[in-house]
Amino acid sequence: MPQTPHPNDLTGLYAQMLLVRTYENAIVAGSTAGKVPGTCTSVGQEAAAVGIVNALSGDDLILTNHRSAGHLLARGADPGRLLAEVMGRSDGYCQGMSGSLHISVKELGVVLTSTIVGAELSMATGVALAQQMQGQLGIVACFFGDGAACEGSFHESLNLASLWNLPILYVCENNHWQAFVHRREANSRDHVADWAASYRIPAATVDGNDVSAVLAAARQARETIRETGRPYLLETLTYRTRGHFEPDDQAYVDPAERNAWLARDPITLCRQQLIDSGRLTVATADALAARVEDRIATALAFAENSPYPQPEQMLRHIYA
């Protein structure tokens, strides 16, 4: 497994969050212009994704969901190849056949992206069992949202992981919205982490908009898994500030709630922390943002110049 980027300083984490946000903003702009298919974004959740992934080792495996851009980019995925995949082009990670909702990157340990709510939870136990039976050192990080925690697969997965002592880091990115339904309308608890105790699984809840807090909590969780060989559930409290799917006008969202979370935007908070501590100036922060913009512009040009798959590729990976 090749080495993946692990920034040791807040500036590196900030740069990764900027990359994720800029990448997804490019998708939003492309979708609005009719150049990029509509997809699910994770705008507002960057600290949760970046903090968790940077706590993992190169031997660890990842199973993620339909809001996967942050996990993939933090793991070291090339934004050009990701954009090519979203746009259905041959130079994408899956030759343009997965779109944004099913990307897998074997060389980075990203086993799958699942668009079926909770499906990655069902498969995490099997992947972790395989790791265990083969004597692999890595753990399995399984990302899901608060909506998936309302699925039966969540409880089935936790039950088996506890029973079989599987090295799984369950990561609930609690972003308060389950498609177009607020978590209060579908979830009997405020915290998904509360369910872990029923299965004798340790759990913690962390401010998902504070990248340093997420990184520290995830490192502690991974260390616990390695010491005990048992699963752990980490809940990151964050907020999805764009709609369920692009385009989506979010007419169903309480503006006061959204504005309160926008005031705690993880990238804005991290930028201010870096400036206040003297690690960045306004000028160097702006220069960093400009470099990220240039990188995404280059990635977008790469994707747009990538060819579409040939017709005969439709018959590949088909089993009958």
d(CA 98, CA 100): 6
Q: Are 82 and 105 in contact (CB under 8 A)?
A: no
d(CA 291, CA 31): 23
Show the tokens assigned to 208.
């998902």
How many DSSP H helices and E strands does the chain contain?
Answer: 11, 8
d(CA 198, CA 277): 42
CATH for 10-303, options being 3.40.50.10480, 3.40.50.10860, 3.40.50.970, 3.40.50.1360: 3.40.50.970
| pLDDT given for residue 318 in this prediction | 76
Where are the domains positioned within the chain?
A: 10-303
Higher pLDDT pick, 119 / 199: 199
Question: What does pLDDT average to over the chain?
Answer: 92
User: Which residue from 13, 76, 64, 4 is spatially nearest to 269, judged by alpha carbons?
Assistant: 13
Q: Are 18 and 7 in contact (CB under 8 A)?
A: no
For the cut 90, the answer to whether the pLDDT of residue 93 exceeds it is: yes
Instruction: Give the model's confidence band at 62: pLDDT under 50 very low, under 70 low, under 90 confident, else very high.
Output: very high
Lowest-pLDDT range of 50-59, 147-156, 175-184: 175-184
For the cut 70, the answer to whether the pLDDT of residue 6 exceeds it is: no
- Whether the full predicted model's pTM is greater than 0.85, yes or no, is yes
